[in-house]
């Protein structure tokens, strides 16, 4: 039977997860709409309403996050925003901006978490932790609301840093693979997109990305903490 603390932590995790995923996919949809592809927007995904995103990917937005939390104590999952592949072929640069918009939304949420942490520290509601980890970027100055706020902001900071970094890996099928088009001439970007979007590369890319990401994220997380708390080094 799930304890009240585990249930409360799971609810916070899911709220942050769903917020992060919704902002990410809505940013994709909105950028595509601005670039001339209304595919995702016509399905209601250019919105911070999570319902259209859940309807499109119920397994990745509900089943897998809850199962991963119950099995591992943290949440993983996915969403998707459809786009017109012929639009991407015609406008590879616009598609690259569309791909970049999702991770940028996650960076924005990291900055919102930073602002909340600093406000909490200034108000005396939060305190700098003696040791930091994924779910303890900041500590509550007392029990109850302060501890819950610290937990929420910690996950908001860490999860969105992870989502931004992972999705920007320049390997298919991640956003970073399409973002590469911003660094190439348009014809080269078009050929690169056509070549790299093969389903076989997507499977290989996910396996490679998952294997190497720990080596990238761990030092990045430490670097982010050093920026959050200048002069402090967390291991």
Residue range 109-130: average pLDDT? 97
> 181 lies in which domain range?
4-228
More confident residue, 199 or 49: 49
pLDDT digits (tens, 9 = 90+) for 159-183: 999 999 999 999 888 999 999 989 8
DSSP assignments along 209-220, one per residue: HHHHHHHHHHHH
The per-residue pLDDT for 9 is 94
Kindly give the pairing relationship between strand 139-140 and strand 126-127: antiparallel
Do the domain assignments include residue 233?
no
Residue range 60-82: average pLDDT? 93
Residue range 195-215: average pLDDT? 78
Do the domain assignments include residue 132?
yes
Do the domain assignments include residue 87?
yes
Judged against a pLDDT cut of 70, whether residue 201 lies above it is answered with no
The per-residue pLDDT for 205 is 73
The per-residue pLDDT for 71 is 92
- Distance (Å) of CA 189 to CA 53, 149, 184: 29, 44, 5
Give the span between the Cα atoms of 128 and 149, in whole angstroms. 13
Q: Structural domain tally of the chain?
A: 1
Contacts 24+ apart (CB under 8 A), 115-120: 116/149, 116/153, 116/156, 117/153, 117/157, 117/228, 120/146, 120/149, 120/150, 120/153
Residue range 93-101: average pLDDT? 95
Do the domain assignments include residue 100?
yes
């Amino acid at each position: 039977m799930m304890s009240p603390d585990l249930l409360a932590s799971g609810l916070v995790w899911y709220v942050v997860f769903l917020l992060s995923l919704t902002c990410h996919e809505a940013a994709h949809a909105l950028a595509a709409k601005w670039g001339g592809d209304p595919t995702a927007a016509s399905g209601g995904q250019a919105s911070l309403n999570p319902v259209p995103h859940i309807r499109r990917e119920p397994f990745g937005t509900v089943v897998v996050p809850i199962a991963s939390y119950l099995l591992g104590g943290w949440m993983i999952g996915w969403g998707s925003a459809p786009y017109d592949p012929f639009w991407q072929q015609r406008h590879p640069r616009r598609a690259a901006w569309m791909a970049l918009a999702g991770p940028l939304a996650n960076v924005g949420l990291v900055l919102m978490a930073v602002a909340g942490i600093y406000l909490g520290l200034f108000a005396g509601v939060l305190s700098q932790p003696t040791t930091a980890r994924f779910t303890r970027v900041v500590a509550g100055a007392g029990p109850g609301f302060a501890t819950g706020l610290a937990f929420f902001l910690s996950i908001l900071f860490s999860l969105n840093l992870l989502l931004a970094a992972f999705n920007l890996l320049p390997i298919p099928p991640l956003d970073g693979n399409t973002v590469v088009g911003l660094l190439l001439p348009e014809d080269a970007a078009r050929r690169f997109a056509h070549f790299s979007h093969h389903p076989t590369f997507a499977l290989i890319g996910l396996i490679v990305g998952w294997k190497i990401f720990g080596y990238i994220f761990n030092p990045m997380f430490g670097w982010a903490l050093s920026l959050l708390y200048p002069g402090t080094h967390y291991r």
